[in-house]
Amino acid sequence: VSPQVNDAESTVSVEFTPTIPHCSMATLIGLSIKVKLLRSLPERFKLDVHITPGTHASEHAVNKQLADKERVAAALENSHLLEVVNQCLSARS
């Protein structure tokens, strides 16, 4: 994970690399990163979460989903998906 923060412009950009080029969890990983940032940062920040170029077979499609505010909001309205995201973000003991 490679984050870049620009406080003056209120932007945060996070680039992540899936473990394999066909990782089926890439969208869930990206959504989990985005949710963690949404919950942790002040609302003034604009977030950009995307896959490292050239590291995933469907990087364009995944990046498009993660950049679409309406699709992210719809995903988080799905109670099952929200539970999965919350499990990804929960601290393990």
Which tens digits make up the pLDDT trace of 10-65? 999 999 999 899 999 999 999 999 999 999 999 999 999 999 999 999 999 999 99
Domain total for the chain? 1
Domain residue limits at 35: 1-87
Distance of CA 14 to the CA centre of its chain: 8
Predicted local confidence at residue 93, as pLDDT: 52
What would the 3-class secondary structure string for 6-55 be? ECCCCEEEEEECCCCCCCCCHHHHHHHHHHHHHHHCCCCCEEEEEECCCC
pLDDT, residue 2, reads 81
Give the domain CATH number at 3. 3.30.300
Domain annotation covers residue 75: yes
- Mean pLDDT of all residues in 3-14: 96
Asked if the structure places residue 26 within a domain, the reply is yes
The confidence band for 91, taking pLDDT boundaries of 50, 70 and 90, is confident
Reported confidence tier of residue 92, pLDDT bands at 50, 70, 90: low
Q: Which has the closest alpha carbon to 63: 11, 4, 18?
A: 18
pTM: 0.90
